[in-house]
Chains A and B, each alone.
Chain A
Amino acid sequence: MLEFKLPSIGSDMDEGKLLEWKIKPGDRVKKGQVVAIVDTSKAAVDVEIWFDGTVHELLIEPGATIPVGTVLATLLAPGEKAGAPARPAPPAGRRKISPAARKRAEALGIDVDTLAGSGPGGAVTLADVDAAAAQRSSSKPAATSDRQAEMRKAIAAAMSRSKREIPHYYLAEAIAMERAQAWLSEANAGRPITGRLLMAALQLKAVALALQKYPEMNGFFRDSAFQPVAAAHIGVAISMRQGGLIAPAIHDVGEKTLDEVMRDLADLVKRARAGSLKSSEMSDPTITVTNLGEQGVEAVYGVIYPPQVALVGFGRITPRPWVDAAGGLTVAPVLTASLAADHRVSDGHRGALFLAELRDWLQQPEKL
């Protein structure tokens, strides 16, 4: 019997609300399949399962708010036979809530439907109500459906932790973008508008390639140690229309073609704004790239999203006086790329080399 537990979807998540099951007992599921939709403080996320199996029992009812790590469902491993059912299924439609728990929840103004049950047969008990009350009084005001407020709080928690724990250092580099722009215009010539590449795709790919040479920018700082990750799963900061932001990953950017990166980026932005991201996209980013060029700023010095160890920022591409290779003064489109990096993991020297590597890749757009 396999247990499918609520994964942590991003380091700032400690609980989630199950919105919907996408599976039912008896269904066969494959690794990577979306099996449930869970509301985090940031978004409704499609949660993927990480093993193959056959659904045996769904243990949590939609509507319940449960801590990360709660067993959501049990599954039979491939080839495993179901034994005697663990316990008779509860009658549909009525949750098990002990009379004492219901009474105390009423007195405290706690919605019992949002509680996970820890009693026999998953019953909500006094202890569950008390735990919810304690949590509410210690850290949180009344549970609110206000997504914006929740997101603001999540961002506040993650960014405060970052600035508290991560000794940031910042570097910036002005990069001539003439060649990249020229290459991009040529590549887009003849393409339909919907098929065109954006500079953002080139930037992401360039970051991924630069990371191959400077792996200390890519990975996680956990338990007082850096854990490098080979693949570049780049979190793309996407601002939400209603405020706040989210930074889901494009996986394996280094292995993808520009067209694939572009397609994934467009897909990700669309889904992020529609609120249908996958759990792996939320939990996997190994570095974040933020681009505020569209908003008109020249440069951005970002705050690292823990437990990541670096963030690359791009400003707008703007014509500026530029000394070309021959020493002549010209006007060229220039981009300011910045690096915010974790000094516990890397030093300015390596950070500078990384930015130089990034600059060099952007001079060779045809190789991206």
Chain B
Amino acid sequence: MKISYREAMRQAMHEALAGDPRVFLMGEDVGKYGGTYAVSKGFIEEFGPERIRDTPLSELGFVGAGIGAALGGMRPIVEVMTVNFSLLALDQIVNTAAVLRHMSGGQFSVPLVVRMATGAGRQLAAQHSHSLENWYAHIPGIRVLAPATIGDARGMLAPALADPDPVIIFEHAQLYNLEGELADDWQCDIARAAVRREGSQVSVFAYGGCLPKAMQAAAELADAGIDAEVIDLRLLRPLDTETIAASVRKTHRAVVVDEGWKSGSLAAEVVARIVEDCFYDLDAPPVRVCSAEVPIPYARHMEEAALPQPAKIVAAVKELLNA
């Protein structure tokens, strides 16, 4: 069945809400407005305002409330409108949710799921275009997911809710309108990276909003006679080093695509692991395709120029292969 990423996510939440009375959704405009990205449209009518809770504009407050609910035995889904605003809730996520199990000697679990939109590409200017997945991926104690396909949008929420520790799900805003087939066996794990395209000459690593760009680049490279493998990281913390290394051992070349800025990026972490684990398998220096190190511009052409694009990935691969 062909559905949108938005619909896949909606179905996942609907299933969770319908299947488990401990699950509730909380966030800005998730109720009466139906969600900023319309993912929870109709939920308030179906599940009522007790379980679909509109919150004040206080990320610090409602994320903290979610942590409290999780500690109290609930399975909250907290929607933070975008990663840009999640910075106001960093203290709750980093200082509380991520460390409570450790600081309580294992007495407390925080089975919290935080969903947030991320990324640029829609002319929303510098304050509303961040890709800060790597900030969260830095923190021990939380699991960070980046569903980039219809299947992952449909399948990742259930295991995230089943996880006894906090899970953050990054939904790239550019993906909501993505349409594709939902396979019958859409159930998935939240433990492994996925090979989205098999290839032999170079491994292209991407996640979230960059995955479709990497796939498009791989298709263009195939037309040019270059056989690229595309790996969807899926799981940003903990990274699936095993799958990453297996691919590099096969292709001997790595290009890491990341909408974050290059300095201190997730791409940097992936490259570091490749070099640590696969140094003697490398046939060329690993390459990163990241966003330009500037606040993301408002003007369309400048925004496009600042972000990773299929053409940049193609060029990076060709340079790597001296092609």
Which residues of chain B in 46-71 are interfacial with respect to chain A, using CB atoms and an 8 Å cutoff?
A: none
Question: Which residue of the partner chain, among B279, B319, B320, B322, contacts A99 with CB atoms under 8 Å?
Answer: B279
Asked if B283 is an interface residue, CB under 8 A from chain A, the answer is yes
Check B322–A119 contact: CB distance below 8 A. Answer: yes
Asked if A98 is an interface residue, CB under 8 A from chain B, the answer is yes
Asked if A29 is an interface residue, CB under 8 A from chain B, the answer is no
Check A98–B322 contact: CB distance below 8 A. Answer: no
Which residues of chain B in 125-182 are interfacial with respect to chain A, using CB atoms and an 8 Å cutoff?
A: none
Check A98–B283 contact: CB distance below 8 A. Answer: yes
Give A125 to B252 CA distance when docked, in angstroms. Answer: 10
Instruction: Collect the chain B residues with CB atoms within 8 Å of residue A118's CB.
Output: 322
Instruction: Collect the chain B residues with CB atoms within 8 Å of residue A98's CB.
Output: 252, 282-284
Give A120 to B322 CA distance when docked, in angstroms. Answer: 5
Check A100–B281 contact: CB distance below 8 A. Answer: yes
Which residues of chain A in 93-136 are interfacial with respect to chain B, using CB atoms and an 8 Å cutoff?
A: 98-103, 118-120, 123, 125-127
Check A120–B283 contact: CB distance below 8 A. Answer: no
Check B284–A125 contact: CB distance below 8 A. Answer: yes
Give A101 to B279 CA distance when docked, in angstroms. Answer: 11
Check B283–A119 contact: CB distance below 8 A. Answer: yes
- Shortest Cβ distance from A126 into B: residue: B283
Contact string against A for B residues 303-319, beta-carbon threshold 8 Å, 1 for contact and 0 otherwise:
00000000000000001
- Tell me the minimal C-beta distance from A277 to chain B in angstroms: 34
Tell me the count of chain B residues lying within 8 A, CB to CB, of chain A.
10
Give A87 to B282 CA distance when docked, in angstroms. Answer: 22
Give A123 to B283 CA distance when docked, in angstroms. Answer: 9
- Tell me the minimal C-beta distance from A148 to chain B in angstroms: 37
Main secondary structure of the interface of A (DSSP, over half): helix
- Tell me the minimal C-beta distance from B283 to chain A in angstroms: 4
Instruction: Collect the chain B residues with CB atoms within 8 Å of residue A103's CB.
Output: 280-281
Instruction: Collect the chain B residues with CB atoms within 8 Å of residue A101's CB.
Output: 283
Give A102 to B282 CA distance when docked, in angstroms. Answer: 10
Give A126 to B320 CA distance when docked, in angstroms. Answer: 13
- Shortest Cβ distance from A121 into B: residue: B322
Give A26 to B319 CA distance when docked, in angstroms. Answer: 28
- Tell me the minimal C-beta distance from B277 to chain A in angstroms: 12
Instruction: Collect the chain B residues with CB atoms within 8 Å of residue A126's CB.
Output: 252, 283
- Shortest Cβ distance from A127 into B: residue: B283
Contact string against A for B residues 294-308, beta-carbon threshold 8 Å, 1 for contact and 0 otherwise:
000000000000000
Check A120–B320 contact: CB distance below 8 A. Answer: yes
Instruction: Collect the chain B residues with CB atoms within 8 Å of residue A99's CB.
Output: 279-283
Question: Which residue of the partner chain, among B252, B319, B322, contacts A100 with CB atoms under 8 Å?
Answer: B252
Contact string against A for B residues 239-253, beta-carbon threshold 8 Å, 1 for contact and 0 otherwise:
000000000000010
Instruction: Collect the chain A residues with CB atoms within 8 Å of residue B279's CB.
Output: 99
Instruction: Collect the chain B residues with CB atoms within 8 Å of residue A127's CB.
Output: 283
Give A118 to B280 CA distance when docked, in angstroms. Answer: 18
Given contacts A100-B252, A126-B252, contact A120 B284 (CB under 8 A): yes
Contact string against A for B residues 88-132, beta-carbon threshold 8 Å, 1 for contact and 0 otherwise:
000000000000000000000000000000000000000000000
Give A51 to B320 CA distance when docked, in angstroms. Answer: 33
- Shortest Cβ distance from A102 into B: residue: B280
Give A119 to B283 CA distance when docked, in angstroms. Answer: 9
Give A130 to B298 CA distance when docked, in angstroms. Answer: 49
- Tell me the minimal C-beta distance from B262 to chain A in angstroms: 19
Give A101 to B282 CA distance when docked, in angstroms. Answer: 8
- Tell me the minimal C-beta distance from B269 to chain A in angstroms: 20
Scoring B281, B283, B319 by chain A CB atoms within 10 A of each residue's CB, the highest score goes to: B283
Instruction: Collect the chain A residues with CB atoms within 8 Å of residue B283's CB.
Output: 98-101, 119, 125-127
- Tell me the minimal C-beta distance from A95 to chain B in angstroms: 14
Give A348 to B282 CA distance when docked, in angstroms. Answer: 63
Check A100–B320 contact: CB distance below 8 A. Answer: no
Give A126 to B249 CA distance when docked, in angstroms. Answer: 12
Check B280–A123 contact: CB distance below 8 A. Answer: no
- Tell me the minimal C-beta distance from A69 to chain B in angstroms: 17
Give A101 to B280 CA distance when docked, in angstroms. Answer: 8
Question: Which residue of the partner chain, among B280, B281, B284, contacts A119 with CB atoms under 8 Å?
Answer: B284
- Tell me the minimal C-beta distance from B216 to chain A in angstroms: 23
- Tell me the minimal C-beta distance from B316 to chain A in angstroms: 11
The 4 closest A-B pairs by CB, nearest first: A98-B283, A100-B283, A103-B280, A126-B283
With A99-B280, A99-B281, A120-B284 already in contact, 8 other A-B pairs whose C-beta atoms are closer than 8 Å: A98-B252, A98-B284, A99-B279, A119-B283, A119-B322, A120-B320, A123-B284, A125-B284
A sample of 19 inter-chain contacts (CB < 8 A) reads A98-B252, A98-B282, A98-B283, A98-B284, A99-B279, A99-B281, A100-B252, A100-B280, A100-B282, A100-B283, A103-B281, A119-B283, A119-B284, A120-B284, A120-B319, A120-B320, A123-B284, A125-B284, A127-B283
